[in-house]
Structure 1
Amino acid sequence: MIREQVADTSAQGIARTISGLISANMIKPGDQLPTVRSVAGTLGVSSSTISAAWRLMQNHGVISTDRRRGTTVRTSRGSIEGRYWQVPVPQGTLDIDLSTGTPDPELLPDIGIILHRLHAKVAVGSYLDAPVLPELEAELRRRWPFSPEHLTVVDGAQDALDRLIGALVQIGDAVVVEQPTFPPLLDMLELAGAEVIGVPLDHEGMQVNSLRTAVQANPRAVILQPRAHNPSGITMSATRAQAIAALLGPETWVIEDDHSGDAAGVALTSVSALRPGRSLLIHSYSKSHGPDLRIAAIGGAAAPIRQLERRRSLGPSWTSRLTQQILLEMLTDPEIEAQVALAASTYKQRRTLFVNALGSHGVVIPVGAGLNMALPVRDEQSAVIYLAAHGIGAAPGRPFLVDAINYDFIRLSIGSYTGDPVTLAATVAAATRAGGDSRIGSGQ
């Protein structure tokens, strides 16, 4: 069966074909695959090529190997026990939870005034209607940093990332991401079977020299956060955006995750605006207008967005038009716009006060933007335990990493903290020094 199906005899091509046969249930969970030597002889390739294909599938949960049973198809691919679930502490267990990355509920706009003025006809629609309300699309296009070929809305930034990865990335594809980056993104790419390449950050964004090396792998996509980076708080500069755009080949896609949106408190600089024909920008409204809206817009090159819409038509089909109408009303309401602007400035003020207080204890990091900050520590586990013992929840840094780095860090979601920054900073500064060896490095 394998011989008849394999057209591309590279390791990636073989892995894709066999994974496709498994997905189509032509090769079933629990089935034993032929030996490496047998498949190599059948396909007329080297054993090292088959071994590389097997490694790709094994690394991404498609197959498993042991000495007694040989190579078998796994019962289920992937697990929810990924990086994402290692980040937040259990809800309600600590007095001060800085592990979640969520906005301050008190700073979200008052949705009540919007709900009162919606009329009953808004929620009535047809299965055949366009997935985006025409009035909302017009408003989104007015706000977009470039003129997108196509635009749609989905159920939040994570939904957008997941669907775009599904539309663009196949098993074995190289995908470049920031190092560190958002843990669910790494989980999604692992489930997609991508070869993930992490590029370190400096204060302007992805490091140019490291990216130059990474693009030699001919990546299928580069996925980045243009502002208020999670976990570091870094915002990409205009100069760095131009440098990134210049390094990318014509076949590489750019996906930008503007997850903080209008809550970031800093202007958006977009790589997508420099190469719109091969780019996609995600703009989320969850942190700025309310997590329960579960809505984000995707704008950019038409082909992958239309593919996403076609695939989505087999499931939920569209994001509730009632929710879309609520967002439209919020985006065009001057009072709501003022509330969002106030929230963004409040987050910025809280960051500044906390960073300044940390500085008085000898812990110097950039102010950054958004809700989160990465804080270098001597020992990650010791810092998290120290803070927990003082009633403070912090996210460990390891789940944010593609590869190991030469210093430890924790992530603090400082945006929702309303207490005394001086008192908090004293405890956090002590946590940075907790533990045995000294591995603290330069901050992000």
Structure 2
Amino acid sequence: MTATLRALEERLDSPSAKGLAHAVSATIRDGVLVAGDRLPPIRAVAAELALSPTTVSAAWALLARSGTVATDGRRGTRVLDHRAGGTVRYRAALDRPSTFEHDLSTGVPDPALLPDLDRALAGLRTAPTTGSYLDDPVLPDLAATLLADWPFEAHEVAVVDGAMDAMDLFVRTQLRFGDRVVVEDPGFPPLVDLLESVGVQLVGVAVDEEGLEPVALEAALGEPVAAVFLQPRAQNPTGVTMSTRRAARIADLLEGRATIVVEDDSAAGLSPSPLVSLGQWRPDQTVHIRSFSKSHGPDLRLAALTAPAPILNAVNGRRQLGQGWSSRLLQQVLLGLLTDDVATAAVQAAARRYAARRAHVVGRLHERGVEVGGTEGINIWVPVQDETAAVVRLASQGIGVAPGTPFRIGPAGEGGHVRVTVGLAQDDASALDALADSLADAAHTGGWNGRAR
């Protein structure tokens, strides 16, 4: 038996794919295997460790999804440099040239529609006093303002550095290698990158016009699921908002299970729809995240988080080992914006203009035979005949869009989609018509294999 096989045998605590994956991870952590080393062949591992080749292959697949190893056909499976990290989907979706005349690929809000910071900054006479590094990490007045408008009863709120920071803290403290996790399909590429980086098993569940598709979700819950990640309003990329009926159905499916729901409400402040949260039915199973990036500015880097007490305690404990707290100075700016009538009116006006831009483009696309689902948000999910051809055609016209493939968990099927941040479009009716016509032409564009263009 080779030294690698012996090391795996010593660390194998369960004769399963997850157990073997854990053994490989432990072997790497202990320095027995290093970046560039090749794992023994599947059949050799199976024979020496009394496992089936199928189990070993499944373990290798788990490790590959987490970015721990890479398989290269007959050349075998090698250990990757785990320090390199990965944002594969995120880069594929958003890594675009910055030379577009109209870059609608980014998913960010229109800077012209963000509330003016002058009044909030003018109110900052002094920075909040920090007497100790163990002071309350959330300004009491901000906590009270947030909880007064929370979608269900909560007694404590954390303020973190944006929605992705909140999800990262949950993932790092609550999920383990091999856990099954449900995500929306299509969903948010950075979240998928984050989950794959810790080696969970992703289960994509389709999104229809009311939210997560309940039959597919019920099937996914046939085996233990550690967490379900969803966006309750203006889902990115589809623009779908979860209905009360769908939320109640999902709550029923979760009864008696240990599954945690993680809600990312990135549309807070900009959505005309009342927020429907699973916390209204399952408060002890709901982590709710409210981001202020789209409504008040991405560079504030602030989001609010509530969770069941054990999870919130773990999140706060983990933060104490790192940044400790989110800037109380920025918290004071956010508090000023949330409690200022002028800033509130600006956010409401922005919501109306985003809705008008979306409605105009979607309506024009409908006239051109292109049906776009969803009801709100700054993005639209446009079906196309050929995804690559559509992206290339639009790029040739100075219009940047995000290809749909990085947003998909399962197969995209025929054609594909592009995500268009229509919230960045101009308000002028003729300009919106021209954009919609360009999108419609691109949607009907075939590939480069002789199909009609």
Q: What TM-score, normalized to structure 2?
A: 0.90
Please tell me whether the aligned partners of residues 128 and 329 of structure 2 are also in contact (alpha carbons under 8 angstroms): yes
Unpaired runs of at least 5, structure 2: 1-6
Quick one: distance in 2 between partners of 1:390 and 1:67?
40
Asked if the contact 1:15–1:56 (Cα under 8 Å) also holds between the matched residues in 2, the reply is yes
Whether contact under 8 Å (1:351, 1:414) holds in the other structure is yes
Residues 333-348 of structure 1 correspond to what in structure 2 (within 5 A)? 333-348=340-355
Q: Residue type of the partner of 2:420?
A: L
Are residues 385 and 91 of structure 1, via their aligned partners in 2, closer, same or farther at CA, if it must alter by over 3 Å? closer
Structure 1 residue matching 2:157: 3-state secondary structure: strand
In the TM superposition, residue 74 of structure 1 has moved relative to its aligned partner by 2.1
Q: Which segment is superposed worse, 162-171 or 106-115?
A: 162-171
1:430 aligns with 2:441: yes
- Provide the C-alpha distance between the structure 1 equivalents of 2:24 and 2:136, rounded to a whole number of angstroms: 37
- The structural deviation recorded for 1:367 is 5.8
State the match for 2:4 in structure 1. none
Aligned equivalents of 1:343, 1:145: Cα separation in 2: 22
Please give the alpha-carbon distance, in whole angstroms, between the structure 1 residues aligned to 2:406 and 2:151.
Answer: 32
- Cα deviation 1:209-244 (Å, max 9, x = unaligned): 111111113211110110101001000000000111
Letter in 2 for 1:334: D
Q: CA deviation at 1:22?
A: 2.5
- CA distances 1:48-73 after superposition (whole Å, capped 9, x unpaired): 33332233113322124568875543
SS where residue 193 of structure 1 aligns?
coil
- The residue identity in structure 1 corresponding to 2:176 is Q
Q: Which residue of 1 aligns with 2:3?
A: none
C-alpha spacing 1:262/1:67, structure 2 compared with 1 (3 Å): closer
Distance 1:67 1:328, change over 3 A: closer
On the 8 A contact 1:220/1:253 being kept in 2, the answer is yes
1:121–1:14 CA distance, 2 compared to 1 (3 A): same
Question: Structure 2 vs 1, CA of residues 128 and 77 (structure 1 numbering), >3 Å: closer, same or farther?
Answer: closer
Going from structure 1 to structure 2, the CA distance change for 1:402 and 1:366 (only over 3 Å counts) comes to: closer
Residues 1:38 and 1:285: Cα distance change in structure 2 (over 3 Å) = same
1:130 equivalenced with 2:141 (yes/no): no
Are 1:365 and 2:376 an aligned pair? Answer: no
CA change 1:81–1:281 in 2 (3 A) is closer
Asked if 2 retains the 8 angstrom alpha-carbon contact of 1:171 and 1:192, the reply is yes
Q: Letter of the aligned partner of 2:436 in structure 1? A: A
Do residues 271 (structure 1) and 288 (structure 2) align? no
Give the superposition deviation at 1:268.
1.1
Q: What are the Cα deviations for residues 386-429 of structure 1, in whole angstroms up to 9, with x where unaligned?
A: 11111111110001000113241111101121142112111111
The question of whether the paired residues in 2 share the 8 Å contact of 1:177 and 1:197 is answered with yes
- Kindly state the Cα deviation for residue 343 of structure 1 after the two structures are TM-superposed: 1.0
From 200, 203, 213, the equivalent of 1:197 is 203
Match of 1:97 among 90, 98, 103: 103
Q: Mapping of 1:179-258 within 5 angstroms?
A: 179-248=185-254, 249-258=256-265
Change (3 A) 1:291 1:80: same
How far apart, in 2, do the equivalents of 1:164 and 1:24 lie?
A: 26
Report the CA distance shift for 1:147/1:332 in structure 2 as closer, same or farther (over 3 A).
same
2:425 — aligned with what? 417
How many Å separate the matches in 1 of 2:285 and 2:304?
17
Deviation at 1:372, TM superposition (A): 0.4
Correspondences of 1:2-401 after superposition (within 5 Å): 2-23=8-29, 25=31, 27-33=33-39, 36=42, 39-40=45-46, 44-65=50-71, 71-76=77-82, 79-80=85-86, 82-88=88-94, 90=96, 92-122=98-128, 124-148=130-154, 150-248=156-254, 249-366=256-373, 368-401=375-408
Counterpart of 2:58 in 1: which secondary structure?
helix
Letter in 1 for 2:25: S
2: CA distance between counterparts of 1:204 and 1:80?
32
Give the C-alpha shift of residue 186 in structure 1. Answer: 1.1
- Kindly state the Cα deviation for residue 334 of structure 1 after the two structures are TM-superposed: 1.8
What letter matches 2:435 in structure 1?
L
Q: Which residue identity is paired with 2:388?
A: Q
How many corresponding residue pairs? 439
SS in 1 for 2:233: coil
Cα deviation for residue 37 of structure 1 reads: 5.5
Residues 70 and 94 of structure 1: CA distance in aligned 2, closer, same or farther (over 3 Å): closer
Confirm or deny: 8 A CA contact 1:197 1:214 kept in the other structure. yes
Task: Assess, with a 3 A threshold, how the Cα gap between structure 1 residues 354 and 123 changes in structure 2: closer, same or farther.
Answer: farther
User: In structure 2, how many angstroms separate the alpha carbons of the residues matched to 1:67 and 1:427?
Assistant: 42
Query: What is the alpha-carbon distance in structure 2 between the residues aligned to residue 167 and residue 179 of structure 1?
Result: 24
Local SS of the residue matching 2:82: coil
* Percent identity between the two aligned chains: 43
State the Cα distance separating 1:430 from its structure 2 match: 0.9
TM-score (norm 1): 0.92
Unaligned 5+ runs, structure 1: 440-444
CA distance in 2: counterparts of 1:88 and 1:67, whole angstroms: 30
Offset at residue 29 of structure 1 (A): 3.0
